[in-house]
Structure 1
Amino acid sequence: MTTSSRKLDHIRICLDNPVESEGVVARSFDDLVLVHKALPEIDEADIDTSCRFLGRKLSAPLMISAMTGGHPSVKEINVNLALAASELGIAMGVGSQRAALEEESLKDTFSAVRDAAPDIPIIGNIGAVQLKRSGPGILDQLAEMIDADAIAVHLNFLQESIQPEGDRDASGVVKVLGEAANGSVPIIVKETGAGISRETAASLADVGVKMIDVSGQGGLSWAGVETYRAAEIGDCDLEEMGRLFWSWGIPTPVSIVECRSIGLDVISSGGIRSGLDVAKSLSLGASLAGTALPMLKPATKDAKAVVRAMSPYLRALRICMFLTGCRRAGELKGVPLVVLGRTREWLGARGYDLNEFSAYRELTK
């Protein structure tokens, strides 16, 4: 099967089937409670959600995360996402550009994004294994293809473990990421739904990586997507493995804390389903939050549908800022946060001081 055909499989499965993480670990953001400020002492009209990202101004610390590209049928999806991101003034990532490297005719399924959104940050995308095989020089080609502001190098070894055509050679990836991090194109190391630990973040920081997209457990499960594909071709062994590892990974809130503890700049993604989740992510230390799956079905309609789906995120973020007394989005990092449930247990077991997120924040201002 070609890379292009596989991309179409992924879109079809995500549109037609439940593909999110399951069970008690699925909604870790529900374990986080921002402490309400009954006297916010600010005028809501003065709230400014804007920020800067990759040298460009955004209306809010939000992005439409990497989703698709690489098949003629999905070009319109990417254009609708880009038009919506441009209208809203938020960032956007594209799916893996591997297919366009293999087939020249598919480049416009990616380049159309920059044509539709000339002024927002656009993040390109390539797998770590493909980067290792092609060498860091490929990043310039990928960036030029879409006039990208940065390239996300994705880590998807859980997906590869379940994918019938999966490539499971993860050797030498840290070294090539270090070479890429010291190149001319900014990179973002991005997981794809299983999160990044403190130990992995430290390894990345040691070789010069500055920014991580945690893409933690709690949103779309690529093991789940590949479970459906394995079932369709009758591979019962891989289907069984996919169901077993459907919800494998580090929950997004935990992964934010783990990566921030190393001092890296963090993008929160993986189960971001509202502006409240965005605010909680910023409170934990993320600088930006991204969502993908909830925007897919609207993008099959038109850009206006994507704007309607994303606009409540911006409104909820603004309300969260008002109810916690924050005039600027960056001030959410100082808001007291109560951590409950399994997330509290996880962070405690990993040795983190939970006072850092509670009233202690107020006492140390």
Structure 2
Amino acid sequence: MEEGINRRKTEHIRLCLDDNVEGVNKSTGLEGISFIHNALPEINFADIDLQTSFLNKALKAPFLVSSMTGGSELAAKINQNLAIAAEEKGWAVALGSTRALLESDAHKESFLIRKQAPTVPLIANLGAVQLNYGYGADEAERIVELTEADSLVLHLNSLQEAVQDGGDLNFENLLPKIEAVCKQLPVPVGAKEVGFGIDGTVAEKLYNAGISFIDVAGAGGTSWSQVEKLRSEDPLKKAAAEAFNNWGLPTKDCIVSVKSSNVAVPVVASGGMKTGVDAAKAITLGADVIGFARQLLQAATESVESVIRTMDQIELELKMTMFGIGTKSLNELKNTDRVMVMGKSLLNKTAGE
């Protein structure tokens, strides 16, 4: 029987699969963006190119399997399926929090997926708050060595910890400790939220501390306050968590805020991403890589083939969007004027005017 941190990881997976853990009446904000159909795209669908790069490695498509899990028997199956699929499709792949890798011998194989994904960018993951609970640059470097990761991302999950039974709540003076990790590690260090969003002001602080990429992980998808509410055995915390059903910065607003700041690093857009059309919208806002998590989770419990089918659909949706507006590269998509924001066209002149 799994205990402690390993049991918690399994509970997280089960709740995300089986329960409604999205924020109530909270959206990504991307529904306010639409594309202007181009009836004469003047491109060959076969020439549409999704290739890009991230963490100094090539990607066949601008996609990331976002951090989800690790440290349990079920997590091992999920991560191995995700890794094999990511390698075949040329997506980057991120691990769930690797704290369990150092604290427990159980299910280490759930984090050691480099053999299944030998060439794509692999990102290890650690809660930034652990830098106030005995972890430092040495432990972070050890995680990178064990996982053979190309990068480490530090996740910022203050509200989740506040709701979680026994959560780690000392987020004081973390920035200089994050900076120390960035300076010592031989690989790029990124920062991400877990579903409540990073704005431009926070992104600038992280960038100035040495962070190499920002994953905004905005609101509109899984709400980890709701996940922890369902896990909690504390009636007071359960009741208080209800007040945060609608908490967080929508993913769209996060992207806009970060891109409007003085942050010269790649932006990963995650948080409620469900389709390739969502991805296209995020790219037009300035995102460089799009992260998918819960959308892949059910497939990952089934088989590699199920994950690949889901990835294929997301890629096709992105290509169809690009075809529909007449763009054949991600750079053209990022700079298109065939987009409407809250009903306002970016075209100088639309048909019928």
TM-score (norm 1): 0.90
Indicate conservation of the 8 Å contact 1:35/1:335, yes or no.
no
Residue 358 of structure 1 aligns with which residue? 346
Q: Does 1:202 align with 2:201?
A: no
Matches within 5 A, 1:70-219: 70-111=71-112, 113-132=113-132, 133-183=134-184, 184-219=186-221
Query: What secondary structure does 1:116 align onto?
Result: coil
Given that residues 214 and 266 in structure 1 are in contact (C-alpha distance below 8 angstroms), is that contact kept between their aligned partners in structure 2? yes
1:202-243, Cα deviation, whole Å (9 max, x unpaired): 21122222310000000111011011012xx2x221111222
Question: Could you say what secondary structure the match of 1:114 adopts?
Answer: coil
Q: TM-score, normalised by structure 2?
A: 0.93
- Displacement of 1:330 in angstroms is 2.1
2:260 maps to 261
Q: Secondary structure at the residue paired with 2:198? A: coil
> Per-residue displacement from partner, 1:97-144 (whole Å, max 9, x unpaired)?
011110134322100x21111111111000001134311222221111
Give 1 or 2: higher helix fraction: 1
- Verify: 1:312 aligned to 2:313, yes or no: yes
Provide closer, same or farther for how the CA distance between residues 42 and 217 of structure 1 changes in structure 2, counting only shifts above 3 A: same
- After superposition, the CA RMSD in angstroms is 1.8
| SS across alignment from 2:77 | helix
Letter in 1 for 2:341: V
Q: Is the 8 A contact 1:201 1:259 kept in 2?
A: yes
Q: Structure 1 227/360 Cα, relative in aligned 2: closer, same or farther at 3 Å?
A: farther
Alpha-carbon offset, residue 361 of structure 1: 12
Q: What is the distance in 1 between the residues matched to 2:28 and 2:266?
A: 23
Relative distance call for 1:361 and 1:75 in structure 2 (3 A) is farther
Residue-by-residue CA offset, 1:42-95 (whole Å, 9 max, x unaligned): 221111111111122111100111111112332111111111111211111110
Q: Tell me if structure 1 keeps the 8 A contact 2:71–2:106.
A: no
The alignment-based identity, stated in percent, is 38
Q: Give distance in 1, aligned partners of 2:140 and 2:172.
A: 20
| Structure-1 separation of matches of 2:214 and 2:74 | 30
Structure-to-structure mapping, 1:62-73, within 5 angstroms: 62-73=63-74
Query: Does 1:33 find its partner at 2:42?
Result: no
Contact 2:28 2:251 in 1 (8 A): no
Matches within 5 A, 1:1-16: 2-16=4-18
The alignment partner of 2:248 has SS state of: coil
Question: What letter corresponds to residue 251 of structure 2 in structure 1?
Answer: T
User: Is the contact between residue 139 and residue 185 of structure 1 (CA under 8 Å) also seen in structure 2?
Assistant: no
Contact 1:20–1:221 (Cα < 8 Å) also in 2 = yes
CA contact 2:63–2:290 (8 Å) conserved in 1: yes
Q: What code does the residue aligned with 2:128 have?
A: A
For the residues of structure 1 that align with 2:201 and 2:102, how far apart are their CA atoms? 32
The 8 Å contact of residues 193 and 216 in structure 1, kept in 2 or not, is answered as: yes
- Further displaced range: 78-87 or 267-276: 78-87
User: Separation in 2 of the partners of 1:2 and 1:226?
Assistant: 15
1:225 pairs, out of 224, 227, 241, with 227
The answer on 1:290 being equivalent to 2:278 is no
How many Å apart are 1:180 and its aligned residue?
A: 2.0
Gap change, CA 1:198 and 1:275, over 3 Å in 2: same
Matched, 1:236 2:266: no
**Which AA in structure 2 matches 1:102?**
E
Deviation at 1:174, TM superposition (A): 1.1
In structure 2, C-alpha distance between the alignment counterparts of 1:257 and 1:181, rounded to whole Å? 25
Q: Distance in 2 between matches of 1:29 and 1:22?
A: 16
Change (3 A) 1:104 1:85: same
Unmatched segments (≥5 aa) in structure 1: 342-354
Given residue 29 of structure 1, which amino acid in structure 2 is its aligned partner?
A: L
Is the aligned partner of 1:274 residue 2:275?
Answer: yes
Q: C-alpha deviations, 1:267-289, integer Å up to 9, x for none?
A: 00001000001111110000000
Q: Are the aligned partners of 1:335 and 1:361 in contact in 2 as well (CA < 8 Å)?
A: no
CA distance in 2, matches of 1:144, 1:287: 27
Contact 1:3 1:98 in 2 (8 A): no
Deviations 1:278-334 (A, max 9, x none): 111110000000110111111111111111122111001111111222221122111
- 8 Å Cα contact 2:6-2:106 kept in structure 1: no
Q: Number of paired residues?
A: 343
Once the two structures are TM-superposed, the CA of residue 37 in structure 1 deviates from its matched residue by 2.4
Which residue in the other structure is 1:345 paired with?
none
Gaps (5+ residues) in structure 2? Answer: none
Are the counterparts in 2 of residues 321 and 332 from structure 1 also a CA contact under 8 Å? yes
SS of the residue aligned with 1:33? strand
Deviations 1:345-364 (A, max 9, x none): xxxxxxxxxx8x823699xx
